[in-house]
Amino acid sequence: MIDFDEIGPEKILEVYHPKSGMRGFVVIDSLALGPGKGGIRMTPSVSIEEVSRLARAMTWKCSLAGLPFGGAKSGIIADDKTISKKEKKELIEEFSKALRIVCPSQYIAAPDMNIAEQEMEWFAKANGNKKSCTGKPKKMGGLPHELGSTGFGIYHAALVALKYKKMNVKDITVAIEGFGNVGWFAAKYLSEHGAKLVAVSDSSGVVYNKKGLNFKELAKVKKLKGKLAEYKDGAIIPSRDIIGLDVDVLITAAIPDLILSSDVDNIKAKIIVEGSNIPMTHETEELLAEKGVLIIPDFVANAGGVISSYAEYKGFSEKKMFKIVEEKITKNTSLVLKNNKGCVRCSALKIARERVRKVCKVCKL
């Protein structure tokens, strides 16, 4: 069930291509600040409801980051692990062609789950407009998400949170749920700057060693073997068990709805940085806040990707992109914590809503 309110969603498109079997949809949540910005998610279970929630998160993310974009998101129902590269290319191309009516005037695509720079190249070419998406390969003038802008931003959000809690990055333990693009770079930057990485997960399980993990070896194992369970210097425990480990900082960087209200009593982390989108409900966040857990919400912490998209859209260099990501993430995380009155998400939402309200001419928020 999709929730509609004064903000949106403004437009929902469902598309189907009988020959290829492509089934997909786009939710354009708000155009108040500019064309809707948000990635394409490809999973067998992706739904309009899930995409709608993500599109709303993008509305707040773009607003809080001070970008001239509205919020949007899209999904293609397909199993990336069972289709061929040729089949995937056809799905992306047919999806892109169907969206010519809204790209890039009302929707600008980007990578999300199982979508990367190669898919963005296919999308842009099929759409006939380079401005229809970001995250394209460098050869097309893109700043691909493979550069690690989201993980870089999460690292800076974590630094601000640590400072707020009067903790030093060199004295903390960290667990990272997910070792894809987001988790990989968050782990890299935190470990390089002195944090002790004790647990990292992927679909094969959690590698855990309270004495610390070697990031370079983890990255090597993941690249060569394809799964972290092949890493030898640590215990392998079930994937979900990562959320209950005794660590200072837990970073979520993969699946939505990871932490449930029933998990609250098992959470031991002092800080949770939401690198993934919608890793828990607002109600669960409030329960954790009552326990004294500081949570940096998804649309604050993981905005590095959309900030990078903005830099690509404007034609900025890679160096300038990283500078903008650091500045905006640090500034906005500090701002919401400064205005925090027990609910960080409430503080962030208030700021984001006020920015949308200033330019929204037809709705009363």
Give catalytic residues, as residue numbers.
73
> Cβ(218)–Cβ(229) under 8 Å?
no
Checking phi first, is residue 292 left (phi over 0); if not, alpha (psi -120 to 50) or beta? left
Across the beta sheet with 294-296, the strand order is 235-237, 205-208, 196-202, 173-177, 249-252, 271-274, 294-296
> Cβ(133)–Cβ(120) under 8 Å?
yes
- Give the H/E segment covering residue 77: strand 70-77
Both structure tokens of 340: 């925090």
> Cβ(8)–Cβ(356) under 8 Å?
no
Angle at 151 between CA 131 and CA 357, to 5 degrees: 60
- Round to the nearest angstrom and report the end-to-end CA distance of the chain: 21
What is each CA distance from 15 to 98, 127, 232, 292, in whole angstroms? 7, 15, 46, 45
What is each CA distance from 203 to 54, 91, 153, 225, in whole angstroms? 22, 25, 24, 13
Both structure tokens of 341: 């009155």
Contacts of 62 (CB under 8 A, 6+ apart): 33, 34, 37, 69, 70, 71, 306
